[in-house]
Amino acid sequence: MTDLHDTGAPVTVEARRTGPTSRGPLGAVSPAQRRALVVILGVALALRIAWCVHSARPPHIGDPVAYYFYGNQIAEGHGYHSFTIFLGRISEIAHGGPRVFPNHNVPTAMFPPGYPAVLGALFWFVIHSPLPDNLVAAAVSLNVALSVATVLLAFEIARRLFDVRVGLVAAALLAVYPNLIYYTATLHWETTFVFIALATVLVVLRQPWVDGRLPTRTLVAFGVLLGLSVLIRPMSLGFVAALFVASTIAGAGMRRAFTQCGIVMGVVALMVLPWTVRNIVKMHSPVVIAT
């Protein structure tokens, strides 16, 4: 951009930016660093595929059985109903009781609905597509994709906060981290939750902070992703406190920090509200997310 000085001579004005993304876009990563990142992602993918081929099986015990059940119920259009009562009635039948199978009329809120809803959407797609109806394989494949994407998110977050070298170290650590590899072969919520949690953090790092202030659209996007994570595990609400502290330290001031967190909490509340209303209507109890 040019401006005119009093003498009429053009003076070049160089635009500058500051903030967490001032280290440049991903394109600024050197070719060697790009290759290193590709290798790290390749290792992450290979480890997870190998573990899933070795260990992934239909669930027979614990929470994965319940999640598989809930996912099937949602995919078949039966809603979110009690797995515990279903098991109890099956047990009664096995022990000579009346052969009355449970109807789809016993609502529950035992688990947060987020992960069962993800499985329900995935199972519905598999059932109504030409893909083989192997629901466990579909769930595990989704886990692998999200887990590898989590490694990439970790790289990008660390790169924006520090530098590319720190990003590569963060990605390498997550690529071989045992727990993240282990859970890709199971129908647990952890893999999906970690992916969404890191995506939530990355949203507020996509552009520079000016005195701790964030655009409303960024706060709304942050709230949407945070709402999704809350519906999987409500403990992620702690991110709002982290946003308040970070905004204050960056110079937003108490009032602005409260306003930003209020916008985020408003979006989260709107996302959780339909489920809370469902619980009040179906269960006759003010259960916000889960029991």
What mean pLDDT comes out for the span 202-211?
87
DSSP string, 181-250: HHGGGS--SHHHHHHHHHHHHHHTTSS--BTTB--HHHHHHHHHHHHHHHHH-GGGGHHHHHHHHHHHHT
Place of tokens 């992934």: 56
Q: Is the predicted pLDDT of residue 39 greater than 70, yes or no?
A: yes
What mean pLDDT comes out for the span 157-178?
95
Helix (H) or strand (E) holding 20: none
More confident residue, 17 or 90: 90
Place of tokens 């029991």: 291
Question: Which distant-in-sequence residues (6+ apart) come within 8 Å of 282 by Cβ?
Answer: 107
C-alpha closest to that of 248 among 240, 239, 257? 257
Q: Is the predicted pLDDT of residue 92 greater than 70, yes or no?
A: no
* Assigned token pair, 82: 């009690």
Q: pLDDT category, 186, cuts 50, 70, 90?
A: very high
pLDDT at site 243: 94
Query: What integer best gives the mean pLDDT of the chain?
Result: 86
Q: Is the predicted pLDDT of residue 196 greater than 90, yes or no?
A: yes
Q: What is the pTM of this model?
A: 0.83
pLDDT at site 248: 92
Q: Is the predicted pLDDT of residue 97 greater than 80, yes or no?
A: no
What mean pLDDT comes out for the span 154-160?
95
C-alpha closest to that of 204 among 213, 193, 192, 195? 213
